Structure 1
Amino acid sequence: MKKYLIRYKPFLLFLGKFLLTYLVLTFVYESYLNQFDAGKFEVDRFTQLVAKQTKNTMLFFNCDANIAPNTKEPAINLFYNHKHMARIIEGCNGLSVIILFISFVVAFSGKTRATILFIVGGSLMIHVLNVFRIGLLSILLYYFPSSEHVLHGVLFPLFIYGVVFLLWIIWVNKFSKYAAKNSKS
């Protein structure tokens, strides 16, 4: 048994760091969300921020966009050309994707400064791309309503998770301790 623990130590350390980081960040996030009363349709502040930034981004590109609180559930309604196109809920704010991203980077940590900078930069990139994703999705649904499943259920998740995957590849190959070991060989 000891032989296997030694042999698989790098994998077990990766797994332990990943799970610990993921569980701690998820606990912190859930604690944050518990401050808001879903029964009263309260929307967390980060989801509100994402909705406002989506509207402002669409307005910047001369789109007729507006947002309003949803009166039937904890969500923000997004309107494009005066038509309700999306309801932005907590799951749309991108924080769960960012938590996953951070957990992986920490698990494959590199130098402290590089790790922090990559986490901050990658998280900001994911956030900005998520805001654009919501706006673009709303516009595309306006013109192609019958394609909702493909757009919302396939293309846009593939895009956002694809970006996260590419960031992970860059991290592992350029900045992690693993990359440093391989560059010395």
Structure 2
Amino acid sequence: MKNLISQYKPFFTFLIKFLLFYVVFAFVYKTYLNQYNLEKKEVDYFTEVVANQTVNLLNLFNGEAYHKPHASEASIKIFFKHKYLARVVEGCNAISIMILFSAFIFAFSNRWYKTVLYIFLGMLLIHLLNVTRIALLTYALYYYPNQEELLHGTIFPLFIYGVVFILWILWITKFSGYVKKTAAK
């Protein structure tokens, strides 16, 4: 048993670090969300920021977007050219994706400064791409309303998860030092 644990020590280290980071930050985020009353249709701050920035991005290119709180649910309605096209709910703010991204980076970490910097820059990139994703989705739904399921259910999730996957690969191969350590053995 001891030999088995020592043989797979890198895997167990990764798993423990990943789960520890993920559970702690998922708990912190859930605690943060619990301060908002969904029955009163309260939208959390981060979701409001994403909705505001999405509208600002749409207006940067066209000038015909605005948002309003949803009357019957905890979300923000996005209007483009006076047509209600999208709603931003808590799941659209990409915080859960950022926690998953960060947990993976942390699990492959060995230097604090480099890890914290990469997590910060990765989260910033994920946020910017997420806002762009929602703006592009809103724009696409205006012109291609019959493609909503394909756009929202397939293309745009692939976009954001694809970027996260590429960031993970970059971290492992270029920045974490993990590849250099294993190649030296």
Scaled to the shorter chain, the TM-score interval is over 0.9
Q: Which residue of 1 aligns with 2:10?
A: 10
Letter in structure 2 aligned against 1:90 = E
Counterpart residue identity of residue 42, structure 1? E
Aligned equivalent of 2:119: 119
Q: Secondary structure at the match of 2:35?
A: coil
Structure 1 partner of 2:142: 142
| Residue number in structure 2 paired with 1:107 | 107
Partner Cα separation in structure 2 for residue 4 and residue 182 of structure 1: 19
Per-residue CA deviation, residues 19-76 of structure 1 (Å, 9 max, x unaligned), is 1100001000000000000000000000000000000111111241000000100000
Q: Distance in 1 between matches of 2:177 and 2:7?
A: 18
Structure 2 segments unaligned to the other structure (5+ residues):
none
Matched, 1:179 2:179: yes
Q: Report how many aligned residue pairs link the two structures.
A: 185
Q: CA deviation at 1:183?
A: 6.3
- 1:81 alignment counterpart: 81
CA deviation profile, 1:66-88 (whole Å, cap 9, x unmatched)? 00000100000000100000110
CA offset digits 1:93-131 (Å, max 9, x no partner): 000100000000000003111101100000000000000
Deviation above 2 Å: which 4+ runs of structure 1?
Answer: 182-185
**Considering only aligned residues, what root-mean-square deviation do their CA atoms show, in Å?**
1.1
Q: Any idea what SS the aligned residue of 2:68 has?
A: strand
Do the aligned partners of 1:77 and 1:84 also contact (CA within 8 Å) in 2?
yes
If the length of structure 2 is used for normalisation, what is the TM-score? Answer: 0.97
Task: State the shift of 1:182 in Å.
Answer: 4.6
Give CA-to-partner distance per residue, 1:124-179, whole Å, 9 cap, x none. 00000000000000110111111111100000000100000000000001111313
Matched to 2:3, the amino acid is K
Instruction: Select between 105-114 and 88-97 the one with higher mean Cα deviation.
Output: 105-114
Whether the 8 Å contact between 1:59 and 1:65 is mirrored in structure 2 is yes
Letter in 2 for 1:64: E
Alignment-mate amino acid for residue 97 of structure 2: V
- Correspondences of 1:91-106 after superposition (within 5 Å): 91-106=91-106
Moved more, 161-170 or 109-118: 109-118
Work out the percentage of aligned pairs sharing the same amino acid: 52
Q: Secondary structure at the match of 1:84?
A: strand
Q: Runs of 5+ in structure 1 lacking a partner?
A: none
Q: Which residue of 1 aligns with 2:53?
A: 53
Distance 2:7 2:179 in 1: 20
Provide TM-score, normalisation by structure 1: 0.97
Q: Quick one: structure 1 residues 183 and 12, their matched pair in 2 at CA, closer, same or farther if it must change by over 3 Å?
A: closer
1:78 aligns to what SS in structure 2?
Answer: strand
Q: Distance in 2 between matches of 1:75 and 1:174?
A: 39
Between 130-139 and 169-178, report the one with greater CA deviation: 169-178
- Does the residue aligned with 1:74 lie in a helix, a strand or coil? coil
